[in-house]
Every structure is written in C-alpha cells, then in structure tokens.
Amino acid sequence: MTISITDKEFALFQRFIYDSAGITLSTSKKALVTSRLSKRLDLRKLRTFAEYFKILSSGSDAQEVQLAIDLLTTNETYFFREPKHFDLLREQAEQARGRAQPFKVWSAACSTGEEPYSIAMVLAATLQNTPFEVLGSDISSRVLERARTGHYPVSRTTHIPKPYLQQFCLKGTHDQEGTVLVDRPLRERVRFTSVNLNTTLPKLGPFDFVFLRNVMIYFNADTKRQVVERVLSVLKPGGFLLIGHSESLNELNVSAVSVAPSVYRKP
C-alpha cells in the first residue's frame, strides 16, 4: 500500500533536495516524491514520510541520504540530444586539430552517460591525433555507476550517426542481444566523477566546452546564477557554454555572450 505524503512532509523534502542539490521542487512533484521514496519507506518499515525524513536529517546514514538524492534527481537523456550542439563541437574540434594542448569538454549533468560518450565520439572522429579529455559529472552516484559501464539498450542509440555507431559501439549477441556497448578505447577516454553544481567546484578545467543542458530548469534564479558563475570560472576565455533549448541566461546578468540559441561564449 502506497503511503500518502502530507503537505507538511512534502515541504520537508522540498527543503532537503534544495539544500542538497539546489533543485526547486514545485507542488506538482508531490506524486513523483511519493512514488520514488515510498519503496524506501517500505524497505525500512516506516509508516510516514516524516519518519524517513528524520533518518535523512539525523546525519547518521550518509548512504541513505545519497539514495534519496539519487531517487529525487530526474535523469533523462539520450545520445546526440540537440544535434546542432554537436555540429558546433565538431566545427571547433576541426579548428583545434593539430594543437598540442588537449581539447577539454565537461558534461556537467551527464546522467547515465549518453552525452559524454556522444561528445567523445565526435572528438575521436574529428581530432585524429590531437589529444582530448571528456569529463562527465552528476550528483547521482547511481547514474554515474551505470554511465561507466557504457552499456545501453539499442532503443537508446537511434540518434547516433551510423558511422559512429559502427566505429565506436559493439552490438550485443546471445544474452546481450538488444543492447549496445560503447567500445573500451572510447570508454577509457571519458572520466566520470560526482560533482554537486550547487557547491564549490573541485579543481576542474579549464575547458573548451561545457555542456550544462536541461538542468537549470530545476533551479531558481539565484541558484542558476551561482551555478553559471561557477561553471564559467572553469571555462577558457573564448570557450563555449551550451544549455538546453528551453533554457536561457538572459535574466541572469552573467558575462557569457549569446552567440546562438542555447549557445553562449565566454569573452
């Protein structure tokens, strides 16, 4: 039986995920919170969401706190999402071909890894012998663990250009039929790490590109501004910041200059 959540309890979890990840949950997300956390209540034989929140706020179970953050973080992605961004990446990589320093890209909310592997495919195919580095980060340890495997259902690969699919992916057979594995040489060129965008960043960069797509829709204006300023601090002068097509930095008064819809450049 699903336990219902009261308005007072929901407010506790709104504050929890805001404090933990900077994510603002609207009241329309009550059903989402109920469905995603009810399994934890069942497993721990708790009768109310208030009891579960008490465990999270006690500071005695860091693993449970991470589990709750994982469950409340929405993770939707697929390969080569918003393809014009990858066209721009390809163009800039072509111009960087032959340089000595590595071409560095950060996928700053990478979820299960489709985005950083898409980035790595473009760079491996375009840069030839020029070194490159791809970093994928997320607040959720659960999705990062899956990202590191590079193993996906075939249904998730429909947007991968056919030459890339043939060059960088292995088709599953027998008990792995219906799946695709990103090949090991490419997987080894992508590094995954946990980063909370709502806190001081670890030592990162500087990057030629940062993909910060479809994550700011969960932040309020103050949190957006702080996150963007942190990200810009690790972007090279002249580097590109890519956001989701439904997002904008126009109201944030940050230093990045808009050069195309959802594409900004650091002066």
Cβ proximity of 5 and 33 under 8 Å: yes
Residue 67: phi and psi, rounded to 5, are -60, -45
From 134, 15, 23, select the one nearest 75 (Cα to Cα). 23
Report the 10 Å Cβ neighbour count for 46: 18
Per annotation, catalytic residue among 81, 138, 187, 208: 138
Distances (CA, A) of 150 to 29, 45, 109, 168: 30, 35, 16, 11
Is position 36 annotated as part of the catalytic site?
yes
Q: How many CA atoms lie within 13 A of 266 on its CB side?
A: 20
Per annotation, catalytic residue among 36, 142, 146, 189: 36
Q: Provide the angle, in degrees to the nearest 10, between the axes of the packed helices 62-72 and 49-58.
A: 120
The DSSP-derived string for 20-43 is: HH-PPPPGGGHHHHHHHHHHHHHH
Asked if the peptide bond before residue 206 counts as cis, ω within 30 degrees of 0, the response is yes
Query: Which 8-state DSSP code applies to residue 198?
Result: T
* Distance, CA of 242 to CA of 215 (rounded, Å): 11
Is position 7 annotated as part of the catalytic site?
no
∠ CA 106-143-81, nearest 5°, is 55
* Distance, CA of 264 to CA of 241 (rounded, Å): 5
Catalytic residues: 36, 138
